[in-house]
Chains A and B, each alone.
Chain A
Amino acid sequence: MKISIMKAVLEENDDRAQEITKLLKEKQILLLNLISSPGSGKTTLLERTVEFFRDKYSIAVIEGDITTARDAERLEKYKIPLVVINTDGACHLNSLSIKNALDQFDLNNLDIIFVENVGNLVCPSEFNIGENAKIAILSTAEGDDKPAKYPLLFRESELMLLNKTDLIPYTNFNKESFYKDLEKINKDLPVIETSCTKNEGLSDWFDWIEQKKQSGGI
Chain B
Amino acid sequence: MHELTVVSNIFKIVLETAEKNNLIKISTISLKVGRQRHLAPDLMKFAFDSISKNTIAEQAVLNIDRVDIKMRCRSCNAEFIVKDNTYLCISCGSPGLETISGKDLLIESIEGEV
Closest 10 CB pairs of A and B: A187-B95, A123-B2, A184-B86, A5-B107, A9-B105, A2-B111, A122-B38, A4-B109, A151-B85, A9-B9
The residue that B87 contacts in the complex, of A7, A8, A91, A155, with Cβ under 8 A, is A155
A4, A9, A155 — most chain B CB neighbours (10 Å): A9
- Contact across chains for B95 and A3 when beta carbons are under 8 A apart: no
- Contact across chains for B36 and A152 when beta carbons are under 8 A apart: yes
Docked complex Cα distance between A7 and B87 (Å): 27
Interface residues of A, count at CB 8 A? 31
The residue that B2 contacts in the complex, of A5, A7, A12, A91, with Cβ under 8 A, is A91
Q: Please, which residue of chain B has its CB at the minimum distance from the CB of A148?
A: B85
Docked complex Cα distance between A152 and B105 (Å): 14
Least Cβ distance of B114 to chain A in Å?
A: 5
- Contact across chains for A1 and B21 when beta carbons are under 8 A apart: yes
Interface residues of B, count at CB 8 A? 33
- Contact across chains for B2 and A126 when beta carbons are under 8 A apart: yes
Docked complex Cα distance between A123 and B108 (Å): 23
Interface residues, chain A, CB within 8 Å of chain B?
1-10, 12-13, 90-92, 94, 122-123, 125-127, 148, 150-152, 155, 184-188
Q: Please, which residue of chain B has its CB at the minimum distance from the CB of A149?
A: B85
Which residues from chain A contact B107 at a C-beta distance below 8 Å? 5-7, 9
Interface residues, chain B, CB within 8 Å of chain A?
1-2, 5-6, 9-10, 13-14, 17, 21, 23, 31, 36-39, 84-88, 95-96, 105-114
- Contact across chains for B105 and A10 when beta carbons are under 8 A apart: yes
- Contact across chains for B95 and A186 when beta carbons are under 8 A apart: yes
Least Cβ distance of B32 to chain A in Å?
A: 9
Docked complex Cα distance between A56 and B43 (Å): 47
Q: 27 A-B Cβ contacts within 8 A?
A: A1-B21, A1-B111, A2-B110, A3-B17, A3-B110, A3-B111, A5-B14, A5-B107, A5-B110, A7-B106, A7-B107, A9-B6, A9-B10, A10-B9, A10-B105, A13-B9, A90-B5, A91-B1, A92-B5, A94-B5, A126-B39, A148-B85, A152-B36, A152-B38, A184-B84, A185-B87, A188-B96
Docked complex Cα distance between A3 and B108 (Å): 9
Docked complex Cα distance between A123 and B85 (Å): 18
Which residues from chain A contact B9 at a C-beta distance below 8 Å? 9-10, 12-13
Which residues from chain A contact B23 at a C-beta distance below 8 Å? 1, 3
Which residues from chain B contact A155 at a C-beta distance below 8 Å? 36, 87
Which residues from chain A contact B39 at a C-beta distance below 8 Å? 126
